[in-house]
């Protein structure tokens, strides 16, 4: 399983780190085991307006 946080905007390192940390904090609050490093996914071209871009921060998780 993967836990995913979808966000818009530029695919910059700072934007990714911000949303990765939000997701990590929520998973830790819910006592969900994170079993991978953070993964970044971007789906739109650089010419797409930032507010229309889809990006994701995700972790592989385990419920064991």
> Tokens standing for 35?
């079993």
- Locate tokens 């998973």: which residue? 27
Buried b (16+ CB within 10 A) or exposed e, 26-64: ebeeeeeeeeeebeeeeeeeeeeeeeebebbbbbebeee
pLDDT tier at 48, thresholds 50, 70, 90 = very high
Whether 56 has a pLDDT exceeding 90, the answer reads yes
Residue indicated by tokens 């390192």: 13
Instruction: Give the model's confidence band at 40: pLDDT under 50 very low, under 70 low, under 90 confident, else very high.
Output: very high
pLDDT of residue 58: 98
User: What integer is the mean pLDDT of 27-43?
Assistant: 97
pTM attached to this predicted model? 0.90
| % residues pLDDT > 70 (the chain) | 100
């Amino acid at each position: 399983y993967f836990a995913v946080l979808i966000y818009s905007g530029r695919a910059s390192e700072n934007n990714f780190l911000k949303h990765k940390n939000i997701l990590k904090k929520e998973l830790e609050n819910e006592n969900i085991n994170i079993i991978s490093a953070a993964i970044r996914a971007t789906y739109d071209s650089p010419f797409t307006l930032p507010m229309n871009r889809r990006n994701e921060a995700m972790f592989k998780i385990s419920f064991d």
